[in-house]
Amino acid sequence: MLNKKVKSIILAAGKGTRMKSDLPKVLHCIFNKPLLGYVLDAVNNTGSIDENFVIVGHEADKVEDYVVKNYENTKCVLQTPQLGTGDAVNKAAPLLNDFNGYVIVLCGDTPLISSQTINNFIEFHDNNHADLTVMSAIFENPKNYGRIIRDKNNKFIAIVEEKDANPQQKAVKEINAGIYCINWRTVRDSFNSLQNNNAQGEYYLTDIVKWAVEKNLNVQSYILENNEEIFGINSKLHLAEATKILNKKSLIRLMENGVQITDIDSTFISPETVIGADTIILPNVYITGKNTIGKNCKIGPFAHIRDGAKIGNNVRIGNFVEIKKSEIKDNTNVSHLSYIGDSELGSHVNIGAGTITANYNPISKVKSKTIIKDGANTGSNSVLVAPVTINEMASIGAGSVITKDVEAYSLAITRSPLKIFSQWVRKKIEQYSGGSK
């Protein structure tokens, strides 16, 4: 058990030029969740880190807005201009003047990092009584990474960026993973001595290693077991690759817990989604956000479940159905071509094909709720205009637009009377053909 408090500094000030986007790099999403969110969640889920500092710069207001709305234990610190990673960490130093513990430094564009790895890293640092520990990894092709440099006795002495490395240093396969654990009280002074005499004219965070070695401090490196976890996002291609990696892990976890996934190549399910055993996921299903799906359900094909869905047991979500921020209780069917948003569906409800819960008022910008109670059913092509309640065992006639509550065991129909115009088509044909068929 740690005797020290731990805080994190997350670097999120960069523009991300290679993303070719007006959106800050760390706000690009995987499963509708920003990259920065994955890093913050990984840090918070360690159980050992109580406060985070996010270094913001490019489009700082947008990044800070996301952080403030979603993370109570996190403060944003502005870095302007952006003068390198060492300068970025130094911006948080005034907020840590009296802190006597460990500071973890991470990058905000590494969405695959896990809480377990962060905890293992902190424990390694603590067990070795280190002043500074750098996470490293072994790559057969280490291009574009800073190299871990050791002396003839294999002692870790420096990190050299590739653009500053000589040919011998470039041949090194152990690279800097960009994650640091710092004994803050003993290493914080290093940030005041950083120099920018390098190819980029920046203050490198990596130079604190050299400083610590010169001070005869205990400097360690922790070799990462799974290199995928430090995959950094620098382009839209990287974003797609990370999505596949994250998705594969999610699908494997679900299948190991008893979920049947018919086609892993066409199925995408967010890591926050929990699914019960013996549920079948058919091809081309896309599930984003945080959702719970019960046991013995059947989802898809071509179904889309968005954030905030709570689906019970023995539920059928069929083809071309979209579910958003809705609760669906046991033994209910939403079989095809329907949209269920901001709704509560009871048990043994049957939703006919093409049913829409009209939950959004574009003038007031307000979203309202639809409630469909136990045993109720809707006919095909129904529109339920929220706020509205369909009570127990009520039935909605096909083609109806429902704007008022429907009492229990009632039938509601807004269908116009059927009119048949005899021989109408024949008369039109004769009209346009000059009287002949």
Look at the chain and report how many structural domains it folds into: 2
Residue 331: predicted pLDDT: 98
CATH of the domain at 389: 2.160.10.10
Each residue's pLDDT expressed in tens, for the chain with a length of 437 residues: 677 899 999 999 998 999 999 999 999 999 999 999 999 999 999 999 999 999 999 999 999 999 999 999 999 999 999 999 999 999 999 999 999 999 999 999 999 999 999 999 999 999 999 999 999 999 999 988 999 999 989 889 999 988 889 999 999 999 999 999 999 999 999 999 999 887 778 898 999 999 999 999 999 999 999 999 999 999 999 999 999 999 999 999 999 999 999 999 999 999 999 999 999 999 999 999 999 999 999 999 999 999 999 999 999 999 999 999 999 999 999 989 999 999 999 999 999 999 999 999 999 999 999 999 999 999 999 999 999 999 999 999 999 999 999 999 999 999 888 899 999 999 999 999 876 55
Does residue 435 belong to any structural domain of this protein?
no
**Domain ends where: 181, 200, 230?**
230
- Same domain? 176 vs 286: no
Distance, CA of 84 to CA of 76 (rounded, Å): 17
Does residue 425 belong to any structural domain of this protein?
no
Take residue 340 and report the two structure tokens written for it.
């269920």
Residue 415: predicted pLDDT: 85
Question: Within a 10 A sphere around the Cβ of 157, how many other Cβ atoms?
Answer: 16
Residue 122: predicted pLDDT: 97
Distance, CA of 364 to CA of 256 (rounded, Å): 46
3-state secondary structure of 286: strand
- Same domain? 113 vs 52: yes
Residue pointed to by tokens 């500074």: 132
Pairing of strands 366-367, 298-299: unpaired
- Same domain? 39 vs 147: yes
Measured distance between the N- and C-terminal CA atoms of the chain, rounded to whole angstroms:
92
- Same domain? 253 vs 224: no
CATH of the domain at 210: 3.90.550.10
Does residue 419 belong to any structural domain of this protein?
no
- Same domain? 201 vs 74: yes
Does residue 356 belong to any structural domain of this protein?
yes
Residue 359: predicted pLDDT: 95
Does residue 428 belong to any structural domain of this protein?
no
Rg (alpha carbons) of the chain, rounded to whole number: 29
- Same domain? 207 vs 244: no
Residue 437: predicted pLDDT: 54
Residue 144: predicted pLDDT: 85
* Cβ-based burial of 7 (10 A; exposed 0-12, middle 13-18, buried ≥19): buried
Does residue 43 belong to any structural domain of this protein?
yes
| Catalytic option among 58, 238, 336, 348 | 336
- Same domain? 197 vs 309: no
- Same domain? 173 vs 100: yes
Residue 2: predicted pLDDT: 79
- Same domain? 173 vs 219: yes
- Same domain? 158 vs 295: no
- Same domain? 337 vs 245: yes
Residue 45: predicted pLDDT: 97
Number of H helices, E strands in the chain: 9, 37
Contacting residues for 39 by C-beta, under 8 A, at least 6 apart: 10, 106, 107, 108, 109, 110, 111, 113
Determine whether 336 is an active site residue. yes
Residue-range definition of the domain harbouring residue 134: 6-230
Does residue 353 belong to any structural domain of this protein?
yes
- Same domain? 294 vs 176: no
In 266-331 the beta strands, taken as DSSP E runs, fall at 268-269, 274-275, 280-281, 286-287, 292-293, 298-299, 304-305, 310-311, 316-319, 322-324, 327-328
Distance, CA of 118 to CA of 49 (rounded, Å): 10
Does residue 397 belong to any structural domain of this protein?
yes
